[in-house]
Homo-oligomer: A and B are copies of this chain.
Amino acid sequence: MAAKWVVKIRFQNRAETILCPSGANLLELLHQHGHSVYSPCGGKGRCGKCLARVRGRAGTVTASERKHLTQAQIDDGIRLACQIQVTGDLEVDLSPAQQLVILADGLAGDFQPDPHIRQEEIRLEQPRIDRQHDCWSRLQQQLGCREAAPEALRRLGELSRKLDLLVTYKGDKVIAVDDGEAGKEKAVPYSIAVDIGTTTVVLYLINLANGVQVGAYAFANPQSRYGADVISRIDYTINHAEGCRELKQTLLKALNEGIRHLASRHGIDPARIYHAAVAGNTVMLHMLLGVSAAGIANAPYVPVFTDGLELSGRELGLEIYPEGLVELLPSVSGYVGADIIADLLAADFESEKWRLLVDIGTNGEIVLGNRERAFACSAAAGPAFEGANITFGMIGAPGAIAGYQVEANGEISCQIIANQEPKGICGSGLVDIIAALYSQGIISSTGAFQEGRAEGRLAEYLGQRAYRVIPGKEIFLTQKDVREYQLAAGAIAAGIRILMKEAAIRETDIDRLYLAGGFGNYINPESAAVLGLIPKTLLKKVVKLGNGAGAGAKQYLLDRGAKARIAGLKQRITYIELSARADFQEHFMEAMFFPEL
């Protein structure tokens, strides 16, 4: 009989012990025992999401883990569950998987969920003929709440013979009442964090009783049928009388399907979801409400609103508890949205030290700030980092070259998503390839291919000077591709310089560099630093936020102090419109060249 090892699993308030065979994969083991650990890549070591704090014989840290974890995390015992084969007794703490971002900041040990939605078991005083206080005022007396949702009164009426009640409330307002004798288990409150991206929407379902993420669900934003990018969707609303309503309904329908799907997967009634926090770019939030975003499409790029908003599920049409609260996080400007505010919440911008956040997608949003002042801008990077306008560019899907290194001996190693036959190059691969070519002198600091340095791998492709990325494969990086990269990266690097200029600080004043967004999560910071996309001096200060927007929205739900911090952030951020800056072109031109090696 094979050896059995004892794996002790800790999950915030819960602990369990599993006996398992030697050699079992830890992530699979967790899934088999009902722990829904978020692992979007399916356990292939690519997404870096299945975090766990592990003690015991967990084997050596793999290359994949080195790629996704900071040294601080590794020192703290954080591992990727998918990379561990059980070969001895283990103690596994899953809270890092739920608190990804907070962990990255080393705060996990201190973090206690403090959700907005709270529950209390109440025993009402028996009414008497000479003291016939109504049910609601007796409840108020015990709980100190001052407002009641009509639905809560309705339930209170149904339960009027009961004295033991389980009351769900937010702040001053009772939102639900349940029979207290039925037990707390039956009425666990949930909330949902929503990150509405132009391309992808992600929902996170949170158990508010213990602060644990029950599950997550991502789906393509169905508005893409109206246009892949925000500008073409805005155009649709301008050219169609009912366009705003149509885009709203399209998104809302998909959100409701997603909520139903996620809830049913975990055996939860959607009417038990009492709170939703929504992050997303400014245009997506306008479209969620059916508010025209036309003002954002053209100068002076004016949105209708940037404030946070509170509305009920019923009011929005979101199919959670009808009187549940939906909160849209605030934005900064038309191009620095609530997704960035959520990033900042997931990061830590409450320090006296300066911190820099770069969220790279179609635009690169950049925030530089500390607890007193902050500056934000949006750099029109264009979609090069998402594979568009690059000859062999593609999104980060199976077959994409996502990592690329040339060893000292000239040997090439590259990482291809899903280990398939390579089909093209995604954003992180693009940065790696160009950095490798620049390091070897195949590309000059101005971005031009250097004749005779590529050992026969420079060729022509579609009339362009081009580099064959993998010997024998028909995948090329052309001169034009390098120029596209330079334009995109130059805009971001120039944005960073202008913010530093505004703040009147130097690189050495910056204490931490947060990388967020899909691309920011997968990029190899060394390569980015080689090319000057991020300042080289900040390489040791990089913290990857992962999906910072989703993490921030989750944190918002679990932390009653977050609202005030967000309000403070919004207030102290000065938005810098790069296109209105006389010095932008100059910084942009400079930033397009690669720094000295």
| Choice from B302, B312, B316 contacting A315 with Cβ under 8 Å | B312
Chain B residues lying within 8 Å of A301, measured Cβ to Cβ, are: 129, 132
Among the stretches A102-110, A264-272, A289-297, the one at the interface with B is A289-297
Q: Which of B127, B156, B292, B314 contacts A160 (CB 8 A)?
A: B292
A134 within 8 A of B: yes
Chain B residues whose CB sits within 8 angstroms of the CB of A129 once the complex forms: 299-301, 577, 579-580
Residues in B neighbouring A192, C-beta threshold 8 A:
none
A135: interface (CB < 8 Å)? yes
Are the CB atoms of A291 and B132 closer together than 8 Å?
Answer: no
Q: Is the CB of B160 within 8 A of A333?
A: no
Name A577's contact: one of B132, B153, B309, B575 (CB within 8 Å). B132
Contact with B along A110-146 (1 / 0, CB 8 A): 0000000000000000011110111111001000000
**A158 in contact with B302 given A315-B314, A575-B132, A580-B129 (CB within 8 Å):** no
What B residues does A315 contact at CB under 8 A?
Answer: 150, 312, 314-315, 323
Q: Is the CB of B577 within 8 A of A136?
A: no
CB of A583 closer than 8 Å to a CB of B:
no
Contacts of A294 in B (CB 8 A): 157, 160
CA distance A577 to B291 in the complex (A): 54
Let me know if A154 is at the binding interface, CB within 8 A.
Answer: yes
Given A135-B295, A314-B315, A333-B132, verify A304-B150 contact (CB < 8 Å).
no
A130 partner residues in chain B, CB cutoff 8 A: 577, 580
In the assembled complex, the Cα of A292 lies from the Cα of B129 at a distance in Å of 19
Interface membership of A148, Cβ < 8 A: yes
A427 at the interface (CB under 8 A from B): no
Q: CB distance A157 to B300 under 8 Å?
A: no
Q: Is the CB of A302 within 8 A of B160?
A: yes
B134–A304 contact, CB under 8 A? yes
Distance in angstroms from A59 CB to nearest chain B CB is 53
Are B160 and A304 neighbours in the complex by a CB distance under 8 Å? Answer: yes
> Which chain B positions have C-beta within 8 A of A286?
157
A140, A300, A304, A309 interface centre (most CB from chain B within 10 Å)? A304
| A303:B134 contact, CB within 8 angstroms | yes
Q: Which residues of chain B come closer than 8 Å to A140, judged between CB atoms?
A: 307
Interface residues of A, count at CB 8 A:
50
Contact between A132 and B292 (Cβ–Cβ < 8 Å)?
no
- List residues of chain B with CB within 8 A of the CB of A153: 289, 291, 304-305, 309
B-facing mask of A145-172, CB < 8 A → 1, else 0?
0001010011011101000000000000
Q: Are B160 and A289 in contact (CB under 8 A)?
A: no
Q: In the docked arrangement, what's the CA distance between A292 and B158, Å?
A: 6
Minimum Cβ distance to chain B for residue A181 (Å):
18
Complex-state Cα separation, A292 to B334, whole angstroms? 48
Chain B minimum-CB-distance residue to A128: B300
Number of copies: 2
CA distance A419 to B96 in the complex (A): 86
Residue of B nearest to A314 (CB): B315
CB–CB B304/A135 < 8 A: yes
Q: Which residues of B contact A299 (CB under 8 A)?
A: 129
Instruction: Say whether A347 faces chain B, with CB atoms less than 8 Å apart.
Output: no
Partner of A306, one of B137, B303, B316, B323: B137
Say if the beta carbon of A311 comes within 8 Å of chain B: yes
Contacts A311-B150, A315-B312 given; indicate if A244 touches B157 (C-beta within 8 A): yes
Within 8 A of B (CB), among A241-256: 244
Residues of B within 8 A of A289 (CB): 150, 153-154
Do B244 and A304 touch (CB < 8 A)?
Answer: no
Cβ-defined contact, A316 with B134, below 8 A: no
The reply to whether A133 and B304 contact each other, CB–CB distance below 8 Å, is no
CA distance A304 to B137 in the complex (A): 8
Are B150 and A307 in contact, CB atoms less than 8 angstroms apart? Answer: no
Closest to A156 in B: B304
Q: Are A291 and B127 in contact (CB under 8 A)?
A: no
A312 to B322, CA, bound (A): 13
Q: Are B157 and A302 in contact (CB under 8 A)?
A: no
Docked-complex contact B134 and A305, CB < 8 angstroms = yes
Contact between A302 and B132 (Cβ–Cβ < 8 Å)? yes
A304 near B577 (CB under 8 angstroms)? no
- Contact call A314/B316, Cβ cutoff below 8 A: no
Nearest-Cβ distance from residue A30 to partner chain B, whole angstroms = 41
- Highest count of chain B CB atoms <10 Å: which of A136, A291, A295: A291
A–B pairs, 26, beta carbons within 8 Å: A128-B300, A129-B580, A130-B577, A132-B300, A132-B333, A132-B334, A134-B302, A134-B305, A134-B334, A135-B302, A135-B304, A136-B305, A137-B306, A137-B307, A150-B291, A150-B315, A150-B316, A153-B309, A154-B292, A156-B305, A157-B292, A157-B294, A157-B295, A160-B294, A312-B315, A315-B323
In the complex, besides A127-B302, A137-B305, A150-B311, 16 extra interface pairs with C-beta distance below 8 angstroms are A127-B300, A130-B580, A132-B302, A133-B302, A134-B306, A135-B295, A135-B303, A136-B305, A140-B307, A148-B305, A148-B309, A150-B316, A153-B304, A156-B304, A160-B294, A315-B315
